[in-house]
Amino acid sequence: MKNLWSRSKSSRTEEMDLLVYQSRLIGADSSLVVWGGGNTSIKTVRKDFRDRDTSVLLVKGSGSDLKTIDPKDFPSLRMEDVLALFDKTDMTDDDMVTYLGQCMLNPKDPRPSIETLLHAFLPYKSVIHSHADAIVSLTNTSEAKQILEDIYGSDVSIVEYIRPGFTLSKKVGLAVQNNPNVLGVVLMNHGLFTWGDDPKQAYDRHIDLVNKAENYARTKGKSKKVFTSNTNLKITPKDRKQIAAYISPTIRGLVSNNQSMVLRYDDSSDILEFVNSKEGQKLSQVGPATPDHTLQTKIKPLWVPISNSIDNQSLVKVLSDSVKRYVDEYIRWYQTNTDGNHKMLDPYPRVILVPGIGMWTTGKDYKSALIAGDIYHHTIKVLKTAESIGQYTSLSDKDAYDVEYWPMELYKLTLAPPQLELARKITMITGAANGIGKAIAERFAYEGSHLLIADVDYDGIHRLSEDLNRKYGNGRVTPVVMDVTKESDINAAFQILRTTYGGLDILVSNAGVAPVGAIDEIAISEWNRAFNVNATGHFLVSREAVRLMKQQELGGSLVFIGTRNIPAPGKDFGAYSASKAAEAQLARVLAIESAEHGIRCNIINPDAIFEGSNLWSVEVRRQRAKAHGVRIEELEQFYQKRNLLNVRITGADVAEATLFFASSRTSKTTGAMHPVDGGIRDAFPR
**Residues labelled as active-site residues:** 576
Return the closest-CA partner of residue 496 out of 471, 515, 477: 477
Cβ–Cβ under 8 Å, residues 284 and 380: no
DSSP states along 627-665: HHTS-GGGHHHHHHHHSTT-----HHHHHHHHHHHHSGG
Cβ–Cβ under 8 Å, residues 580 and 567: no
> Which CA distances in Å does 575 have to 63, 540, 607?
56, 19, 17
Q: SS3 of 262, please?
A: strand
Q: What angle do CA 100, 103, 108 make, to 5 degrees?
A: 90
Dihedral sign computed on CA atoms, order 541, 447, 659, 418: positive
Cβ–Cβ under 8 Å, residues 131 and 190: yes
Cβ–Cβ under 8 Å, residues 535 and 582: yes
Report which secondary-structure segment, H or E, holds 360: strand 358-363
Largest CA distance in the chain: 98
Dihedral sign computed on CA atoms, order 457, 459, 465, 471: negative
> At residue 57, what are phi and psi to the nearest 5 degrees?
-110, 120
For residues 40 and 657, give the distance between their C-alpha atoms in angstroms, rounded to a whole number.
49
DSSP states along 45-63: EEE-TTS-EEEEEEEPBTT
Cβ–Cβ under 8 Å, residues 612 and 651: yes
Q: Tell me the residue type at 345.
A: L
> Which CA distances in Å does 685 have to 92, 174, 202, 341, 352?
66, 80, 75, 57, 50
Cβ–Cβ under 8 Å, residues 413 and 492: no
For residues 205 and 156, give the distance between their C-alpha atoms in angstroms, rounded to a whole number.
11
Residues 6+ apart with CB under 8 A from 278: 227, 228, 229, 230
For residues 359 and 344, give the distance between their C-alpha atoms in angstroms, rounded to a whole number.
25
Burial of residue 653, with CB atoms counted within 10 A of its CB: 0-12 exposed, 13-18 middle, 19 or more buried? buried
Q: Long-range contacts: 219-227, Cβ < 8 Å, 24+?
A: 220/388, 220/389, 221/385, 221/388, 221/389, 222/388, 224/387, 224/388, 224/389, 226/277, 226/279, 226/383, 226/384, 226/387, 226/388, 227/273, 227/274, 227/277, 227/278, 227/279, 227/280, 227/384
Cβ–Cβ under 8 Å, residues 79 and 120: yes
The DSSP bridge partners found for residue 141 are 392
The DSSP bridge partners found for residue 299 are none
